[in-house]
Amino acid sequence: MTDTELRPLPLADCLVRLRETQTGRIAVVVHDFPIVLPINYRLVETSGLTWVAFRTRAGNVIDRAPMNAALEIDGIDHEEQRGWSVLVRGTLHHVDPDSADFRDRFDPEPWLGDDRDSWMVIVPFAITGRVLIGSTDWEFRITAET
């Protein structure tokens, strides 16, 4: 028998997961339809502000996307049927990587190489998360052959 419960993650736990994770999926709307693409990112926390920084190729779909965006990260344990997700909703902004030492301090180091020279951030208006907690009760029977 399995009891599962979906609980909200406190903001502090969401931020821990955002710090520890490097990859996620960005969602933007293009031509009236959402698209979701994988990115790697870095959480930027400075002077009381929190941003999600990433780099993309200049002129691509993310670089040209409208301002509204979301980033989702998650962790799933298929065997235990447990998991969590964090959703960052906010606005996309281009950043000058040379201002305020942004390049040196917050480079998300894209996996696909240095040609990702469009630096962007998501400025969140909401960071939320959920965790799926399961408990499995196993009933064992031992039978002895006689």
Q: pLDDT tens for residues 42-98?
A: 999 988 889 999 989 899 999 999 999 999 999 988 887 789 999 999 999 998 877
Instruction: Name the helix (H) or strand (E) containing 38.
Output: strand 33-40
Q: Is the per-residue pLDDT at 1 higher than 60? A: no
Closest to 86 in 3D by CA, of 120, 55, 124: 124
pTM metric for this prediction: 0.83
Give CA angle at 90 (73, 119), nearest 5°.
Answer: 80
Map residue 94 onto helix, strand or coil: strand
Distance, in Å, from the CA atom of 22 to the CA atom of 15, rounded to the nearest integer, reads 12
Q: pLDDT tens for residues 134-146?
A: 765 544 445 555 5
Instruction: Give the CATH fold of the 2-136 domain.
Output: Pnp Oxidase; Chain A (2.30.110)
Distance from chain centroid for Cα 84: 11
Q: pLDDT tens for residues 109-120?
A: 666 666 777 889
Q: pLDDT tens for residues 2-28?
A: 577 889 999 999 999 999 999 999 999
CB 127 within 8 A of CB 50: yes
| Exposed/middle/buried for residue 27 (C-beta within 10 Å: 0-12, 13-18, 19+) | middle
Q: What residue spans define the domains of the chain?
A: 2-136
